[in-house]
Amino acid sequence: MDPSEFGYSLWAYWTLGLYVVHGVVVMLLLRFRKESTASFRLLVHGADIVWPVLVTLFATGQGSPFFLFFVFVLGASAYRWGLRETFGTSVATVSLLWAESFAVRHNLTVSIDRALARNGLPLLDVSLSQFEPKRLFMLSAYLLVMGLLLGYLAEQQKRLRAERAVIARVLGRVRVEAGLTGTLQDILHELIAMYGARRALIASQETNKYRVFVGDLELQESGLAQLHWLESSPTDRETYLYESVADACLGVRKHVSYQCVLLDRDGVRLRSETLQPLSPLAKLHSFESLAVVSFLFGQEWWGRIFLLDPVFGGDREDELRFLQELVRQVGPAVYNVYLLRRLRQRAGAVERARVARELHDGAVQSLIAMEMQVDVLRRQSTTQDRPITSELGRIQGLLREEVLKLRELMQQMKSLDVDSSNFLRFLEDTVERFQRETGISARFVSVLDKPDMPQRVCRELARIVQEGLVNVRKHSAARHVLVRMTAKDSHWQLTIEDDGRGFPFSGRFTQGELETMGKGPMVIRERVRLIEGELTIESNPSRGARLEVNVPQQKQHREAAYG
């Protein structure tokens, strides 16, 4: 592209200068306008077409750099709209160029030059070689082909953006708090709205079970719909989960059968044009057309989604492939909800089993033993006159012990709502309740005013205090307990001291040494590890024990800032 081939007419430079000014004005308007209207975009695009045509009056030569102006116009059209608009822009540009050539070939520019000369103005100096039919024909072919190419690429890009937006919107419907049924309901509702379907069905089955679950969601007049599960039937598997090599299918009723577009898992069209297994489904649910797509989540859950009477606007194969891709993208997120639901069920079952075991091995056995002892005392009281005060006192002590165990169990099951604002008050209340219920002298001391701790650290330290006091009551036979909360050397420090029996070892040991020996309270060790703290235990048999927990402040502050 040789700039020296550019004409020397002052009108050429003025035209180019006006074009630059026009571009600056448009950029300023776009910057200060809150939004662009359709008429404004159309006006700017029309000007973008006219300016390059005017510039070509002076852009002579085979390698004129101003041909890039046409590329810019076509690119702008592709960015704003799509294939038809871009090709229409190229047709409009070619039409203006031929109209300009017609005017030049019929001496219109010569007449303009004469008028300019009479008024003492610079001449246009338009070169006729620029508008030779052969060269103009090649330029027109370039513009039309480029319009088709850029329009096609723009259409594909627009489609990809739309598909990504749809997938993102459907993925946004996957919410753990909504549960599995609520998530499936939202996704099916999105599919109905997207394809204009009248109704949606979902049939699923766990691989290790025979029962088929069938959900039905039908759009109501209000636009809302609720997913409800149908009663199980022995024929559900043959009706919904029939054997088929097709992964996706679009069936349209043709007389007594259905003409189908079938795709395998790779999106390749299968040769078969009919799918006989749709007949049992048609007897249960009336429809003129049906879209079916299969899903497989992990190796545990599989099934199909049915859209009744969908409206496919574009190519049926492409629409069906997108439905396949949508289900594959959303599937893992739904599967995570499914796994979380199962995990919660199992966790609840494990927790219930633990509570039942604790009650059976602890409170229930003790109460049965006390019931038997009371029965013995009742029988003895009718035949003997000896006092039974001591026996009743022992039974009362056992009852008090079991009440404390039940309270501790309930305390462990309750969720803790502890943060830095109420942490110290919670520890003080815990220590006071311990003293009141056990009769052991207990005291809480803190040199902190209001510790700036993350909630997770507050919660775990509170659980450590609860567990430590339970161990003191059960195993130490202590008469005095001291709980202290301090800050030292960029660490928060929690200590629990008692004057009881101590641990069955002597000396001072760190957390690593305790884990190596397999000694020390395991529950407290795990909680200290969760907050990345350090546990130290000092034990003097028959003279008490001291439990110390150090948590680094800097690391916890950083986690709170980024977490």
Q: Positive or negative, the Cα torsion across 54, 58, 63, 66?
A: negative
Asked if the model's pLDDT at residue 408 lies above 70, the reply is no
- pLDDT tens for each residue of 493-548: 999 999 998 888 889 999 888 888 888 888 888 889 888 899 999 998 888 999 99
Q: What is the pLDDT of residue 445?
A: 93
More confident residue, 69 or 214: 214
Asked if CATH classification 3.30.565.10 holds for the domain at 415-562, the reply, yes or no, is yes
Q: Which residues pair with 537 in a beta bridge?
A: 509, 547
Output the pLDDT for position 371. 66
* Number of CB atoms found within 10 A of residue 330's CB: 20
Spatial CA neighbour of 427 closest among 500, 512, 485:
485
Is residue 259 classed exposed, middle or buried when 0-12, 13-18 and 19+ CB atoms within 10 A define those classes? middle
Per the DSSP assignment, residues forming a β-bridge with 539 are 507, 545
CB 556 within 8 A of CB 531: yes
Average pLDDT over residues 153-180: 81
> Which of these ranges, 272-276, 282-286, 468-472, has the smallest mean pLDDT?
272-276
Other beta carbons less than 10 A from residue 496's beta carbon: 24
What's the pLDDT score for residue 360? 65
Q: Is residue 560 scored above 50 in pLDDT?
A: no
Q: Is the pLDDT of residue 481 over 90?
A: yes
Q: Is the pLDDT of residue 549 over 60?
A: yes
Q: What is the pLDDT of residues 317-329, one digit of tens each?
A: 888 888 888 888 8
How confident is the model at residue 1, as a pLDDT?
A: 34
pLDDT tier, 372 (very low <50, low <70, confident <90, very high otherwise):
confident
Q: Element (H or E) spanning 294, and its range?
A: strand 289-297
- Domain 177-343: give its CATH superfamily: GAF domain (3.30.450.40)
Rounded CA-CA distance 244/260 in Å is 13
pLDDT for residue 284 is more than 80 = yes
State pTM to two decimals: 0.50
- Which tokens in the block code for residue 212? 């088929």
Domains of the chain by residue range: 3-168, 177-343, 415-562
The Cα–Cα gap between 330 and 293 comes to 13
The mean per-residue pLDDT over the stretch 299-306 comes to 86
Q: What is the pLDDT of residues 409-456, one digit of tens each?
A: 666 555 567 888 888 998 999 899 889 878 899 999 998 877 888 888
Task: Give the pLDDT score at 265.
Answer: 86
| Mean pLDDT, residues 355-379 taken together | 69
Q: Give yes or no for residue 172 having a pLDDT over 70.
A: yes
Tell me which residue of 362, 365, 352, 550 sits closest to 474, measured CA to CA.
362
Q: Which of 45, 40, 134 is nearest to 88 (CA)?
A: 45
What's the mean pLDDT in 384-389? 61
**Across the strands, what pairs with 200?**
217, 307
Rounded CA-CA distance 531/78 in Å is 55
